[in-house]
Chains A and B, each alone.
Chain A
Amino acid sequence: MTEVVATNETILVVGGGISGMTAALEAAETGKQVVLVEKRPYLGGRVSQLYKYFPKLCFPTCGLEINQRRAKMNPNLRVLTMAEVTGLKGEKGNYTATVKISPRYVNGNCTACGECEKAVSSEFDDEYNYGLGKRKGAYLPYRMAHPAQYVLDPRLIGTPEADQAKAACKYNAIDLDMREESVDFPCGAVIWATGWQPYDAAKIQPYGYDRFPNVITSVEFERLADPQGPTGGKLVRPSDGKEAKKVAFIQCAGSRDRNHLLHCSRICCMASLKQCTYVADAWGKDADVSVYYIDLRAIDRFEDFYAKVRGIEQVKFIKSKPASIVADKEGNPVVHGVDTEGYNRYADSFDLVVLAIGMEPSVDQASFPVDIVLNREGFIEADEANGGVFAAGCASDALDVNRAVQHATGAALRAIQVVHGAAGVEG
């Protein structure tokens, strides 16, 4: 049975992505007791699924290593993974949270030796790679996953493989009798950092995401480019493994659109520029990249990066919202539209089309366990009416990593102010 020691001076952080981790660490390092609840078996969220960050083209695991080190060393921080907040009652300074913990079937004895993985054979879609690759039923989500603890897929339970996994473990770390449990604990303030999910590209009917294998989303392309990804970093297309040298990026796909997401997700222009460098790095002079855009949003100091990518000869920018995408007999996606600068009708054929898909809040409006002020896109607005619940990161708006961390740091302060109030050190 999981026990959580907490009081109304404890801060609850919901979501363990970069924003939740930051908010939790910053609060814990300011001396507060924090409980961090994350749905996945590991911390890091969606940034762990990125190959590089813009504009420095540096690696997410670099910052995650530091954050994970901070997390491991801080006695004020309690991390619960495979956990979700199912209920939140009370008021500012005095909440009771109900957390559902799903069974990992692996306990704290796990030494991450990997023997259980070798002992099983069934394969499942790998969530870490957005379903583009496979993983085993006993697995470590990715190589730097923290906690460094294996997971057993629930679909293994009751099959002989579960026993094989258990038999392979020398440390009694596999517990097939683990059950879902629910734990209640008090907290004074809540930081809601549940992040985002990619908009469902299949809904953008004219772009054929659900019909054409060589029309993919930006998050999927990121996995292809990552040497840790399903193709070992080789930019090859899904239908036939052909090298993807001629690539189209469609900006605002399903965004800024009355039929889909109304908002602009802020990061997709920069993300596509970053991915242009992946294509240019892979193929050099043979790369042939077209970016179809409405407004190129490389905002504030990001302008430097835009200038840099504009300087790559193999990258073209076309002001156009494409009308439709079809596929020819060889599976090459063909983008149809009008180049609005000069009004030229085009029908451009590519090896691969990448839809720069938008971010929508990962928690559905109806699923919030408390009353919370939202805007019509489902993002949380800062409001007194939210009491002691504060959004951090992409739960508040579509943000880049830098801004999400900035925002989460501020959210930590707001939570601390509430807890100080509860403690009598008032503000």
Chain B
Amino acid sequence: MAADKKFAGYLCTGCGIGERLDARQLSQIATREGKMAACKEHPMLCSAEGVQLIRDDIAAGNATHIMIAACSRRAKVEAFSFPEVAMSRANLREGVIWLRPEGDEHQETTQEMADDYVRMACAEVRFMTQPTGSGEQTLNRSLLVVGNGVTAMTSALEAAKAGYGVHLVCDEGELGGVYKDLYKRVPFRAAPVGVSNARTAPLPQPEEPGVAEMIAAIQANPRIQVHLNAKVTKTSGAPGRFSADISVESGSTVTENFGAIVQATDYKPYDANLLPEFAYGKSPDVVTNFELERLAKAANGGPLKRPSDGKEVKAVAFIQCAGQRSDKEGHLPYCSGFCCTESIKQAMYFKAQNPGCDATVLFDDLRTPGAAGEDFYRAGQQAQVTFSKGKASAVDINGGKLTVKFKDLILDEDTAMECDLVVLATGQVPNSGPDPYAQLAVDEAPTEEEKAAARKALEVAPPSILNLDYRQGTDLPHLKHGFVDSHFICFPYETRRTGIYAAGPVRRPMDMKQAIDDAAGATLKAIQAAENAARGAAAHPRVGDLSYPTFRKEGCTQCKRCTVECPFGAINEDEQRYPQFNESRCRRCGTCMGACPVRVISFENYSIDSVGQQIKAVDMPDEFSEKPRILALACENDAYPALDMAAQSGGQISPFARVIPVRCLGSVSLSWITDALNSGYDGIVLMGCRRDDDYQCHFVRGSKMAAERLSKVGDTLQQLNLEQERIQVYEVAITDVQRAPQLINDMAATVEKIGMSPFKF
């Protein structure tokens, strides 16, 4: 749109701004230097009256780009909400007067700081455009759900109930997945209201599995189309316009379009052949918890029988954590979270159906959390299941019997027990596709040991499940141990492939009840993704952001850095090897912009210029003034809020600091660093989120990318004869309220020590 840009400035003189600063000077700077057509002052701009002033100007067509000089952009967000125009905010309250001490001796530098922030905010808004649609948006109210079991079925049913169509891709000949053979399930509920705490109170018992009912509900639902013996052989596109090829074993393929995808591929049972010490594979009477369900089903309500000779089981031992919670080769290092209650349930089968049967659960920690878990543990005790704290070391075959050798941890002695049947409570191995970053894990492994482990993982990569036609790989990235989970506690469904959500045990180990709840959550996120893709709005964490990256093809050198560095794999390549941006796969972090060496990538409201011009707008005192300039680029997620809160709690910042919030440190273009150095800044501090294995970076790798790029800047600095200390990159947490301003002040102290930048004039 080549419509006229109307720049309008507004200065709030409330909250002490009018008392501490020369408002008239600020207004003049906004108009004369900042090119605002006018700068209106108001004693309380956030009031209804102040806001109306701005609204009226917008309505009259006198303001398409507004600059508000007042409090922090994080404050009074609801009041200063003008989505129809481009807006910048100069932080004069938290950013200047709350961080600078009062007193005549500080007056000059405080005013200079405020003057600069007004210049910067004007420069920013002049180079912003209100985001408009890309034309890529489509609304597709159809979901692809991949999986066979309870998780996938729940996702499909919940989506259908919300008015969405579903294609359910199941790679077996029938639905049901791992729980197909379930005889009964662990009860979902605790004892109801009114049941006393007496030892004889009626407690929840193993209940009907409900799997058959779920399958029937799927088959009866007109909104759900089931593809059996099918695999997804290709997925391309983006949220709102995914296209997937669903190929059936027999050879035919259909192509369908989807708004979003849920991967609910659950898990594979652990291979108990990796536990030879427990005689698995040597005796048919040593079974896994999965195999036990089949035995129970076969018993059909009567006594459960031994596989070897068909005799009724008279003594059964359950070995908990079999091949789990262990760092032995071939074992699972984690706990699968479902096996303790599973074993209690199975022990109760014997107690109910095998007269006079002894059932012993050998455990180290019995994990039956919550109200339902604990009540079920009590139910097991009521049924006279024996619980023995002990660590099993071996199972020996003794003629027709089995001997379980274990260390009784209560009696502190090595002992053994004889039984007819041993059940190994084995774990869940997530049914995920290959990790697209497996090679990167090898490259980045810090120790030889970790490199070897990473190489091994790369070698045993499973077949692809989604076959994503993405430049960065075919499947969802792994977090740890093969699970495709989100690294964020507060955002469990966050995914590195926008619009594709993982649910159930493929995400993290879990029992059936949790898998069903998890499916509902993932389905909500999928629906949300589809709806927002249609609006062109971004997903977490920049929820609602309508901007998206554009690039100037003629300047692109096809270096591929943007396609490789995008943390979300949002960028593909076209036939001519140019990057192909996919708006709805993008999280708007700007890592691509930071990566591009030729500066051809930008967002409408966040660009090389919108930040670069801010840097250049700062008035640069000459070298004799003894007034250095420290540029601080602060991530808006943790560092910038920490600075605001420092201001709230009486912190202080160097009078020479100029802070610019950035979306992510990953978006920082090296051109900004070069511009800053060339403009005469004496020190540059970059503050981003934690970037190690326990990263906090909300865009996963942005902070890490920035640190890597800047580690290479050292050479450039040397060539320019600049000291390395002039540029520092820090990891800052949102609670670093004392530390954040201190880091900037430290740079000011460094500059005092090493002297001003030789690039000043």
User: Which A residues contact B (CB, under 8 angstroms)?
Assistant: 18, 26, 29-31, 53, 56-67, 69-70, 72-75, 109, 111-114, 143-144, 148, 170-171, 227-228, 256, 258, 262-266, 295-304, 307, 319, 340-343, 365, 373-379, 381, 397-399, 401-403, 405-407, 409-414, 416-417, 420, 425-427
Contacts and interface: CB of A to CB of B under 8 A. Distances in A.
Nearest to B46: A111
B532 A426 contact: no
Contacts of B158: 413, 417
B641 interface: yes
Contacts of B335: 298-303
A298 B197 CA distance: 26
Given A73-B544, A109-B44, A410-B520, A301 B162 contact: no
Contacts of A58: 489, 690, 694, 696, 733
B645 interface: yes
Interface in B57-102: 71, 74-78, 81
Interface stretch (B286-294, B461-469, B478-486, B552-560): B478-486
9 contacts: A73-B81, A144-B641, A262-B190, A299-B335, A300-B508, A307-B327, A375-B193, A412-B524, A426-B163
A410 B521 contact: yes
Interface in B511-545: 514, 517-525, 527-528, 531-532, 540-541, 543-544
Nearest to B528: A30
B492 interface: yes
Interface string B213-228: 0000000000000000
Contacts of A412: 524
A409 B524 contact: yes
B375 A262 contact: yes
Contact of B735 (A30, A59, A378, A416): A59
B370 interface: yes
B371 interface: yes
A26 B375 CA distance: 32
B543 A70 contact: yes
B493 A406 contact: yes
Interface stretch (B117-125, B303-311, B361-369): B361-369
Pick the 10 closest A-B CB pairs, nearest first: A63-B490, A410-B520, A409-B521, A427-B161, A300-B337, A263-B371, A413-B524, A266-B369, A72-B77, A375-B190
Contact-residue bracket for chain B: 35 or more
Given A30-B528, A63-B491, A262-B375, A143 B649 contact: yes
Contacts of B373: 263-264
A397 B370 contact: yes
A426 B223 CA distance: 11
Given A295-B367, A398-B369, 14 more contacts: A58-B733, A62-B638, A66-B698, A111-B15, A171-B47, A256-B374, A299-B367, A303-B325, A341-B389, A374-B193, A399-B370, A403-B514, A405-B491, A427-B161
Contacts of A75: 81
B189 interface: yes
Contacts, number: 256
Contacts of A31: 531
B375 A263 contact: yes
A420 B163 contact: yes
Contacts of A417: 158, 161-162
A18 B489 CA distance: 11
Interface string B189-214: 11111110100000000000000000
Given A62-B733, A397-B371, A301 B14 contact: no
Contacts of A18: 490
A63 B488 contact: yes
B509 interface: yes
A254 to B, nearest CB: 13
A301 B509 contact: yes
A412 B517 CA distance: 11
Given A59-B734, A301-B509, A319-B409, A262 B492 contact: no
Interface of B: 14-16, 44, 46-47, 71, 74-78, 81, 158, 160-163, 189-195, 197, 325, 327, 333-337, 363, 365-375, 378, 389, 409-412, 480-481, 483, 485, 487-493, 508-510, 514, 517-525, 527-528, 531-532, 540-541, 543-544, 637-638, 641, 645, 648-649, 690, 694, 696, 698, 733-735, 737
A128 B15 CA distance: 26
A385 B435 CA distance: 43
Contacts of A341: 389, 409-410, 412
Q: Which of A111, A171, A266 has the most CB of B within 10 A?
A: A111
Nearest to A66: B541
Contacts of A256: 374
Contact of A420 (B162, B517, B733, B735): B162
B365 A413 contact: no
Contacts of A74: 543-544
A319 B389 contact: yes
A205 B522 CA distance: 44
A45 to B, nearest CB: 13
Contacts of A263: 190, 370-371, 373-375
A374 B190 CA distance: 9
B345 to A, nearest CB: 17
A296 B368 CA distance: 11
A56 B190 contact: no
Contacts of B195: 376
A110 to B, nearest CB: 10
A401 B371 contact: no
B369 A405 contact: no
Contacts of A407: 517, 521
Contacts of A61: 641, 734-735
A170 B19 CA distance: 13
A170 B14 contact: yes
Contacts of A414: 520
A374 B192 CA distance: 6
Nearest to B736: A59
A376 B202 CA distance: 12
Contacts of B734: 59, 61-62, 65
